[in-house]
Amino acid sequence: MTQVQWLLVLIAMTIVVVTKVASHDYGDALSKSILFFEGQRSGKLPPNQRMTWRKDSALHDGGYYDAGDNVKFNFPMAFSTTILAWSVLEFGNFMGSDLSNALDAIKWATDYFLKATSIPGFVYAQVGDPYADHNCWERPEDMDTPRTPYAVSKRFPGSEVSAEIAAALAASSLKKKNEEEEEEEGEFDAGEKEKWLTKIGKV
């Protein structure tokens, strides 16, 4: 093949790749990503639950199940909540009708994390026995595996999960604070937002 032929093949391949990427519906992917959180909910489900085939489960837990399991691993749940909160903080104005669902997802997680950190000196890091759970595939509504809670403390340290839960709560509180500021002062431009974030960072 000559250089011109190679160049034409390369250009054709680039056009195919660009066309393929442009054909993806990222708005639909965002909607489904947020809907996924609802499918992972644990506890007494709210009336606005969109996945109506899911029912109440693990009524003393709350939070989200992990990756199709019936166990709650608070480290990845906290990371997901942190990222979701920052995403809403930075891009919430572009989320359209999914914004309220994203805020509900954040609140569902933070309500659980506040419960998981409510006993001084302890941070609950996990709920459920992963070995029993991974040996038994069943819907959360039917689970009969132990709901054993595992906590970290000064005696049994776990700074990683504690720090990530703190990050999730902090990022979520920034979004809440941002909403309150907007309600009090009306919409503000990007420059005012930057000043506000700088002020919060110094507190």
| Bridge partners, residue 151, by sequence | 124
In a domain, 1, yes or no: no
Residue 94 domain-assigned?
yes
- pLDDT, one tens digit per residue, over 35-51 is 999 999 999 999 999 99
* Residue 200 placed within a domain: no
115-158 pLDDT, tens digit per residue, is 999 999 999 999 999 898 888 888 999 998 888 999 999 999 99
User: Is the pLDDT assigned to residue 12 strictly greater than 80?
Assistant: no
Say how far apart CA 144 and CA 9 lie, in whole Å. 58
Q: What is the pLDDT of residues 24-36, one digit of tens each?
A: 788 888 899 999 9
Element spanning 96, H or E:
none
More confident: 151 or 183: 151
| Percent above pLDDT 90 for the chain | 59
For residue 2, being part of any structural domain is answered with no
Residue 8 lies in a domain: no
Task: Give the integer Cα–Cα distance in Å for 125 and 158.
Answer: 8
Number of structural domains (the chain) is 1
Q: With respect to residue 6, please indicate whether it lies within any of the assigned structural domains.
A: no
Whole-angstrom Cα distance, residue 98 to residue 32?
Answer: 10
Per-residue model confidence as pLDDT tens digits over 78-106: 999 999 999 999 999 999 999 999 999 99
Mean pLDDT of 59-73: 90
Domain assignment present for residue 201? The answer is: no
Q: Which domain holds residue 61?
A: 22-175
